[in-house]
Chains A and B, each alone.
Chain A
Amino acid sequence: MNEKEIRGMVADVKEGSLSRRSFIQRMAAVGITAPIASQILAWNDVAMANATLPYKPTKAGGGGPLKVLLWQAPTLLNPHFASGTKDQIASRIFFEPLAGWDKEGNLIPCLAAEVPSKANGGLSADGTQVTWKLKQGVKWHDGKPFTADDVVFTWEYAKDPATAAYTTGSYKDIKVEKVDDYTIKLTFAAPTPFWADPFVGVAGQILPKHHFGEYIGAKSREAPANLKPVGTGPYKFVEFKPGDILTGARNEDYHIKNQPHFDTLEVKGGGDAVSAARAVLQTGEYDYAWNLQVEDEVLKRMETGGRGKISAVASGDIEFIILNPTDPWTEVDGERSSIKTKHPTLSDPKVREAINLLIDRDSIQKFIYGRGGIATASFVNEPKQFKSSKLKYEFNIDKANKILDDAGYKRGADGVREKDGKKLKYVYQTSINAPRQKTQAIIKQACQKAGIDLELKSVTASVFFSSDVANPDTYTKLYVDMEMYTTTQPQPDPERFLNQFTSWEVANKENKWLGRNVSRYTDPAADEAYKAAQKELDPAKRAALLIKVNEIFCEANIILPLLSRTRVAASVNNVMHDHSGWDVDTWNIAAWYRT
């Protein structure tokens, strides 16, 4: 489908001869997913669609308690410090952004009166300014009114490096001005094609100035409201025991009529994914459980009980393997895997190519993940227009053997290949999680057949994903030859997501291993394409640039994508929830109800 046809169809939608729904379906048929299809419509002044849950109850309250199980327990409730998804989910109950993302990637206004578009004057033609109109009559939980001052304050708070906010990246390069009490104007330093990042979704929650005003900068961690939130959300804070339980009560003054439905809310932490699935699907003790990284077989069996259902929605999350091009076993300047070193064998592209051929992605999908993932060779899979159509995967042990033979790696007495005394023996690390250990076993066996010996290592998830500078087992340290994990794409646009392929994001000792480029591989061509994409306003050209960044890393076989993950959650049959792959699970918790 070419540009002209798309334009023709957009015109049809505008005239009303083609419905939004069929437009999105036709775009999907040619590989353009819903989020982008609706962005195309938005660029062409067709109002955003709405795939949110239709709300049936006719009055607020009366729904009794809602019990949510987060098997990784939340530990803090300030959304701007919430680097973990569990904390983002918990703080979203109390704080709200100007707008959130529904499951089709549509922007849905929350504290904004409407989503900015060119038609309503919200978006400037040069792509540098966005004007948000705020909803009037919204009150904080303590009764004070919500105004533009709070939004401007949130920007000042998050952009201050001394505040050390996790969201600072979304705010540090913009300028926010108050136009009047219910209008703000946001100016980007350069034309920004993906404008819906500050004040939107996970990173965009608005803080009350009257509670956080004194705690801007270095004192940010001392604010009492970090643990006792006062927000605008559908539930008011009651009690919080970090790492255990969070309770809330219905906000009688909530700004959406007849919402929320439940009288109280309980968020319980602890356990593991399997026991969480069981507590919802089998025993029905809880109404909703999140992030069920469980073998699909197990979930299907639990579902046969008929008490609950599984919801799997598409997301941009990707399960992948990194092959470390640096040497993890030599210490240079106080760090291993330093970019000054070179891996003795993995720096050879032939070895990496062979390993990529030894991954049986189809079996991993079929026998382990099921509904939880789709086998892929591309790092970016959603939205579809950013997915590379060039990248293909193959499982072929013979071909891998031939590549290694040709490259001069000979089998030793123990069956392990070596060249110049360097053996193809690698440590392969991931977090403790049953599907991941099974994936490790499958890949190890295939590698064995090609004369590559893998030592499997599994690290408990709370250590693996922590940012503890002193621990050598965190994923960003990469003190191993191979590593596997899932990285999440929080917005329906891969620009921010792909910064992990840039040279200035390399994780090292200097940035306390907080850099996003964990693989440490760099390519000037990728840097250049990424920088060009940041300024490109033409969606098609921009997509091509971002696809190039993705392809450079995947073709170098540094990044070996395995599965495009879906987000899997469970709920009891009578609870209606609004699960989105582009925002946190509680993004629209006000609209949940029980039938």
Chain B
Amino acid sequence: MAGSTLASPSADPAVAAIAAPVSVSPARETWRRFRRHRLAMASLVILTLLIVSVIVGPWLWPVAINDIDFSATLQGPSLAHPLGTDDLGQDIMARMMYGGRISLAVGLAAMVVATFVGVLIGALAGMSRKVADPVLMWVTDLFLSLPQLPLLLLIIYLFREQLKALFGVEGGVFVLIVIVIGGLRWMPVARLVRAQFLSLREKEFVEAARAQGATKMRQMVRHILPNALGPVIVASTIEVSTAIIAESTLSFLGLGFPPDIPTWGRLLFDAKDQLDTAPHWALFPGAAIFLTVLSINFIGDGLRDALDPRRVI
């Protein structure tokens, strides 16, 4: 039966001969591999479009977000209002571009906070062979078992006024929401990272690095972390959607942004009573949240494939 065993690709002398002379940097290699993932590429284009339109859009479409016009309430899309109007005759396109900045910024910033904290704690726990691991995992369990909504309410109740004084009305709420959502959503990432570290640190290539005298830090950052990133990226992309939705929940409870700031979640909440007559009002912000979350997930998918050194593309 030995004859039927397929040869390993790396053992193929022809392949090795072609690949050897071309030297590419890891970043270009990742980009090359990423481009192969069609859905991820399409998602990247969509997300870029969304980000560019909320950043540049307000200059190209200089309509005030709170311009009330009772003669044009609940209108469908038209030339004057490409995405229609809400029940006060306010332009939905202008509101979506303004609110999109906040929603996207909250989502991305909260993801960065959650991923950073999660990776840090997971890596420390995963590398530790003494008390740090159980202690950190107890902390993780503790955070997982905290009732999140009451805690959120308490934190916001305690610190809202101080942060508002420091960063202004919108800035204060932004910092608070990012810290609170980021600070309460790092646990799944930490567990994933720890599990990856536990198995990877016993692998031969890490032993080899250790034998060559690599410090613990170098083993972690250069050898284990790149191999552990795949699942982390997917997990953290999901955090973006959680953050956008959590922001809407807080606005719904009156604890997020002031009610006249049209974040995407707020637009959806305002539109819910008019779903049957003015579906466009809910559809556009809904579609924006949907596209953002979906495309970030696909990009995460593509990145995982591209970053996974064991996968051949």
Binding site for B on A (CB under 8 A): 274, 294-295, 297-298, 301, 363, 366-367, 432, 434, 437-438, 440-442, 444-445, 448, 455-460
- Give the docked Cα–Cα distance between A298 and B276 (Å): 10
**B262-285 residues at the A interface, CB under 8 angstroms:** 270, 272-274, 276-277
Contact in complex: B259, A440 (CB < 8 Å)? yes
Q: Which residue of B lies closest to A277 (CB)?
A: B273
B73 in contact (CB, < 8 A): yes
**B130-145 residues at the A interface, CB under 8 angstroms:** none
Contact in complex: B254, A460 (CB < 8 Å)? yes
Chain A residues contacting B260 (CB-CB under 8 Å) are 437, 440-441, 444, 456
**B86-124 residues at the A interface, CB under 8 angstroms:** 87-88, 90
B227 in contact (CB, < 8 A): no
Task: For residue A310, give the distance in angstroms from its CB to the closest CB of chain B.
Answer: 16
**B27-84 residues at the A interface, CB under 8 angstroms:** 66-68, 70, 73
Task: For residue A71, give the distance in angstroms from its CB to the closest CB of chain B.
Answer: 14
Chain B residues contacting A441 (CB-CB under 8 Å) are 66, 68, 88, 90, 260
B20 in contact (CB, < 8 A): no
6 cross-chain pairs, A with B, having the tightest CB-CB distances, nearest first: A458-B254, A456-B258, A458-B259, A456-B260, A437-B259, A460-B254
Q: Which residue of B lies closest to A448 (CB)?
A: B66
- Give the docked Cα–Cα distance between A544 and B271 (Å): 46
Q: Which residue of B lies closest to A273 (CB)?
A: B273
Contact in complex: B88, A438 (CB < 8 Å)? yes
Task: For residue A466, give the distance in angstroms from its CB to the closest CB of chain B.
Answer: 13
Residues of B in contact with A, size category = 20 to 34
Chain B residues contacting A445 (CB-CB under 8 Å) are 66-68
Contact in complex: B277, A301 (CB < 8 Å)? yes
B169 in contact (CB, < 8 A): yes
Binding site for A on B (CB under 8 A): 66-68, 70, 73, 87-88, 90, 169, 252-254, 258-260, 270, 272-274, 276-277
Given A440-B260, A455-B258: A367 and B73 within 8 A (CB)? yes
Given A440-B260, A444-B66, A445-B66: A295 and B253 within 8 A (CB)? no
Given A298-B274, A455-B169: A442 and B88 within 8 A (CB)? yes
- Give the docked Cα–Cα distance between A444 and B67 (Å): 11
Given A301-B277, A434-B270, A434-B273: A460 and B66 within 8 A (CB)? no
User: Would you list 7 pairs from A and B whose C-beta atoms are within 8 A, ordered by A residue?
Assistant: A274-B272, A297-B87, A301-B277, A367-B70, A440-B259, A445-B67, A460-B254
> 5 additional contacts, CB 8 Å, given A445-B68, A458-B258?
A363-B70, A432-B254, A434-B270, A440-B259, A445-B67
- Give the docked Cα–Cα distance between A367 and B85 (Å): 15
Chain A residues contacting B258 (CB-CB under 8 Å) are 455-458
- Give the docked Cα–Cα distance between A363 and B88 (Å): 10
Given B87, B169, B276, which contacts A438 in the complex, CB threshold below 8 Å? B87
- Give the docked Cα–Cα distance between A76 and B88 (Å): 39
- Give the docked Cα–Cα distance between A298 and B281 (Å): 15
Task: For residue B98, give the distance in angstroms from its CB to the closest CB of chain A.
Answer: 14
- Give the docked Cα–Cα distance between A437 and B66 (Å): 13
- Give the docked Cα–Cα distance between A298 and B273 (Å): 7
Contact in complex: A294, B254 (CB < 8 Å)? no
Chain B residues contacting A432 (CB-CB under 8 Å) are 252-254, 259
Task: For residue B132, give the distance in angstroms from its CB to the closest CB of chain A.
Answer: 39
Q: Which residue of B lies closest to A429 (CB)?
A: B254
Task: For residue A75, give the distance in angstroms from its CB to the closest CB of chain B.
Answer: 19
- Give the docked Cα–Cα distance between A294 and B274 (Å): 11
Contact in complex: B68, A456 (CB < 8 Å)? no
Task: For residue B177, give the distance in angstroms from its CB to the closest CB of chain A.
Answer: 16
Chain A residues contacting B252 (CB-CB under 8 Å) are 432
Contact in complex: B277, A456 (CB < 8 Å)? no
Chain B residues contacting A448 (CB-CB under 8 Å) are 66
- Give the docked Cα–Cα distance between A445 and B272 (Å): 23
Contact in complex: B253, A460 (CB < 8 Å)? yes
Contact in complex: A294, B66 (CB < 8 Å)? no
Q: Which residue of A lies closest to B70 (CB)?
A: A367
